[in-house]
């Protein structure tokens, strides 16, 4: 079959994006708007009801299809309600973007002295939360003959500098393992690892004078800092039929920070 640029279009597809109602200029918001722009109906899911409603309203005002869903991804009952809302509004789910996470509030916590309660909370949101959503949504994907799952990891997983990074490495493990298990069911599972992205949360975590930015400046091949919108093209590749033969991969979108063979 000859490649067509229309393969990036998502008309008739339903996408659930967690963490899409975040602080102001969030990555989840950019993902939700990008998917809606490509033609998908979007479930804007977040713990933050005001944020989720604002992003769903923004999509509708631009002529797209969206609903807001208030969810706590650590709670299976809450995630089940999110999945139910998607089916009621749009008839099913084809795309799941596991983007919700704790990040800015964690700073650079180290494993050696972190209280166990805090460790469990981080893993609960950043790892188990993605698993809960996947377990709830995969049966809906199977019912539609397949689907696409994108897990939001981080370049910060690779330099081994924080508990946040450990949680994102666990999410890489979930990505590759689920890719192997779900491939024959026509479900692709990939991850995006952004570099230092200037969402409102990213600005909070790494202000201009942060030592972390100095560290990046010494190593990153191109521009150190990116904008949420610069991640959307990769998301559309992984969520559309243009990316049908890609699975189990971590795509680094970071100006050449994490360089792997
Ligand atoms: N900004 C960066 O530099 C950067 C870099 C690499 C990866 N990331 C990742 O990108 C994603 C989005 O980051 P962001 O910068 O937009 O941050 P953000 O804080 O704006 O987004 C995270 C969202 O997750 C939501 N959330 C947290 N706990 C939740 C729960 N239990 N249930 C439902 N929703 C919950 C928050 O309400 C928030 O809206 C995160 O996974 C983050 O780890 C960010």
76-81: average pLDDT = 98
Rounded Cα–Cα distance for residues 97 and 147 (Å): 11
Q: Taking 90 as the threshold, does the pLDDT of residue 101 lie above it?
A: yes
- Mean pLDDT of all residues in the chain? 96
Give first-to-last CA distance, the chain, whole Å: 30
Atom of ligand 1 nearest to the CA of 29: 16
Q: Is the CB of 238 under 6 A from ligand 1?
A: no
Q: At what angle do helices 27-37 and 49-61 cross, to 10 degrees?
A: 30
Q: pLDDT tens for residues 23-75?
A: 789 999 999 999 999 999 999 999 999 999 999 999 999 999 999 999 999 99
Atom of ligand 1 nearest to the CA of 100: 24
Is the whole model's pTM more than 0.85, yes or no?
A: yes
Q: pLDDT tens for residues 140-149?
A: 999 999 999 9
Instruction: Based on the residue annotation, tell me whether 164 is a catalytic residue of this protein.
Output: yes
Q: Taking 90 as the threshold, does the pLDDT of residue 109 lie above it?
A: no
CA of 211 from ligand 1 middle (Å) equals 22
Q: pLDDT tens for residues 202-247?
A: 999 888 888 888 889 999 999 999 999 999 999 999 999 999 999 9
């Amino acid at each position: 079959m000859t490649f067509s640029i229309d393969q990036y279009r998502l008309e008739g597809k339903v996408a659930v994006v967690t963490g899409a109602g975040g602080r102001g200029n969030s990555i989840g918001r950019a993902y939700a708007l990008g998917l809606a722009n490509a033609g998908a109906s979007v479930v804007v899911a977040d713990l933050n009801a005001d944020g989720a409603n604002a992003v769903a309203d923004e999509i509708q005002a631009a002529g797209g299809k969206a609903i807001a869903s208030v969810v706590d991804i650590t709670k299976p009952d809450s995630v089940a309600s999110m999945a139910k809302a998607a089916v009621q509004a749009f008839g099913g789910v084809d795309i799941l973007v596991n983007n919700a996470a704790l990040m800015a509030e964690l700073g650079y916590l180290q494993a050696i002295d972190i209280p166990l309660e805090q460790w469990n909370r981080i893993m609960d949101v950043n790892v188990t939360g993605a698993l809960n959503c996947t377990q709830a949504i995969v049966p809906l994907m199977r019912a539609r003959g397949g689907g696409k799952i994108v897990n939001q990891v981080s370049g910060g997983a690779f330099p081994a500098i924080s508990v946040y990074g450990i949680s994102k490495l666990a999410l890489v493990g979930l990505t590759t393992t689920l890719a192997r298990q779900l491939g024959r069911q026509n479900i692709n599972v990939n991850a995006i690892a952004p570099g230092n992205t200037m969402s409102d949360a990213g600005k909070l975590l790494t202000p201009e004078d942060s030592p972390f930015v100095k560290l990046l400046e010494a190593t990153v091949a191109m521009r150190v800092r990116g904008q949420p919108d610069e991640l959307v093209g990769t998301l559309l590749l992984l969520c559309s039929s243009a990316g049908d033969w890609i699975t189990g991969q971590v795509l680094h979108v970071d100006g050449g920070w994490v360089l792997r063979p």
